[in-house]
Amino acid sequence: MSASAQIIEAAWLSRPSPEVAPDLLGCWVVRQLPNGQLVRGLIVETEAYAPDDPACHAYRRKTQRNAVMFGPPGFAYIYRIYGIYHCFNVVTDVDGRASAVLIRALALPGQPMRAAAGPGKLCLALELETSLSGIPLTAASELWLEHRLETEALDLIQTTRIGLSQGVEIPWRWYIKAHPAVSKF
C-alpha cells in the first residue's frame, strides 16, 4: 500500500462553512461513476453559504430542496440550476445550522483543465444530479472527500462570490492562486 488517502470525516466538516471552504482547497472529490470508473478531482475553488446569508438557499426557510443543509455535516447537497445544470455542495456545520460549501471548480488529472472548471461542468464530469442529493460522503458511498496529500501551505485568494443577486459583498469565495481552472471573473 502506498500512502493511503485520508477520508474527510463529518466531524472535520462540523464547523462554520467560511472556515471549511478554504480548508477544502487542495482536497479531493472522489466519485465512483455508475459504470464503476473512479474519478478524482482536486478542489481548486469553493464558496461558503451560511445561516443569516441572504444568498443561501436556506436563508428563508426549510424546503424539500434545501432540507439536507439543515441536517448534520458530511452529506451532499445537489440541486438543479437554470434548468440544465447542477451544483454540488458539501453540507457543513452542526446539525440545525443550515450551511454548505459549493464546490466551484476541480482539476481532473489526465483531463483538459477546463473539463470541471465551474460548478455546472464539474457535475457533468462527475455525473452528479439531484437523485444523489442527501447521500452521505463516505467511502461506502459513491461520492466522498479526501484530505490533501501535501502539507505545504497553498497560496489562496479570498474574494466575493459569483452569480448572486443578494449577499454580493460577502467575501466567501476562495481559490488557489493562479490556478487555470478557477472562474474567470
Where do contacts with DNA occur on this chain (CB under 7 A)? Answer: 47, 49, 55-58, 60-61, 63-66, 69, 77, 79-85, 87, 89, 100, 102, 117-122, 130, 161-165, 183
* Smallest separation (angstroms) from DNA to the CB of 149: 26
* Smallest separation (angstroms) from DNA to the CB of 138: 21
Burial readout 93-119 (b: 16 or more C-beta within 10 A, e: otherwise): beeebbbbbbbbbbbbeeeeeebbbbb
* Smallest separation (angstroms) from DNA to the CB of 49: 4
Q: Return all residues near 131 (Cβ < 8 A) that are at least 6 apart.
A: none
Of 37, 143, 151, 38, residue with least CA distance to 91: 143
- Judged by beta carbon, residue 120 or residue 136, the one nearer DNA is 120
13/91 Cα distance (integer angstroms): 8
- Judged by beta carbon, residue 95 or residue 163, the one nearer DNA is 163
Report the number of secondary-structure helices (H) and strands (E) in the chain: 4, 8
- Judged by beta carbon, residue 54 or residue 177, the one nearer DNA is 54
* Smallest separation (angstroms) from DNA to the CB of 80: 5
- Judged by beta carbon, residue 44 or residue 87, the one nearer DNA is 87
